[in-house]
Amino acid sequence: MRRVRVKETRRALDLAPLALVVCASVVGALRSSGPAGRLVPWRSWLPPSVESPLGYGEAGVDLTGVVATAELKAIVLAVVVAALGFLLGTPLGSAAALARGRLERAVERACDLVQAFPTFILALAVLSAVRTPSRVHIGIVFALTAWAPFARLALSQVRVLRDAAFVEAATALGRGRAGVLARHVLPNLFGVVAVQLGSTAAAVVVSEAGLAFVGLGPPDGVSLGGVLDQGVAAMLRAPHVLVVGALAVFATSAALLSAGRALR
């Protein structure tokens, strides 16, 4: 009983950062002085105050509303991409490892091919060809490669599990490959693969911010990378903008990583 309580406490502590970031973002979005991205030129580069706890950026944009909204959108995008990668890659890698032979080698080579080419470079190439890239385009590009880490992890784990006694017993009792995969292999994989969910989601947040920083962000301009871009441009005039953007990216990615540990 005590061990169970310790595990539940650790899980709650791992989920706490993400809950805190989400709650703070919702509160920030609700208390901002207007819609995210609204311009008030006479407030340009003003420091944090009671009216705007995070201050103002270029052309008087309220950083509280922008950062709060951008964090919520980044978390949604990251969770969707990570979930797609998990749902596509885990069954594929598991089934290939159980089938052995050509399918196993083909999936392994496909993982090598996808992971050998940096996702960020692929995103730059694809989004540069899109006239007005949106979060949908960004999500599609990330989803094209998100499955590979999950498939590789499932491959390595199932290579061990397929020789386990309970898998051999289920096969000997006449259960088909699909049944063995669904009832015996995948449940034993989730604890290991769940950690990859947090890593993938955190990487999506950082990559999305990087794309916005180089000018390939969403057209509404509400992104953490856009805040970083403003901060670099006015590093000496308004250093609070760069600090706010950097801390927002760090807090969001770290919270997703911690949530991945909780799923384990």
- The secondary structure of 40-78 as a DSSP string is -GGGTTPPP-SS-TT-B-GGG-BHHHHHHHHHHHHHHHH
pLDDT, tens digit (0-9, with 9 covering 90-100), for 63-106: 999 999 999 999 999 999 999 999 999 999 999 998 888 999 99
Query: pTM, whole model, 2 decimals?
Result: 0.91
- List the one residue out of 140, 157, 141, 170 whose CA is nearest residue 91: 157
Matching residue, tokens 């794309």: 211
Whether the pLDDT of residue 34 is over 90: the answer is no
The Cα 55–Cα 43 span in angstroms is 9
Q: What is the reported pLDDT for 179?
A: 76
Whether the pLDDT of residue 174 is over 80: the answer is no
Model confidence at 107, pLDDT cuts 50, 70, 90, reads very high
Domain ranges for the chain: 2-156+194-263
Record: fold of 2-156+194-263: MetI-like fold (1.10.3720)
Neighbours of 39 (CB within 10 A): 14
The Cα 211–Cα 209 span in angstroms is 5
Average pLDDT over residues 146-155: 94
**H-assigned helices in the chain:** 2-31, 63-99, 101-116, 119-128, 135-161, 165-172, 177-180, 186-213, 224-233, 239-263
Which pair of tokens denotes residue 218?
A: 């969403």
35: left (phi over 0), alpha (psi -120 to 50) or beta: beta
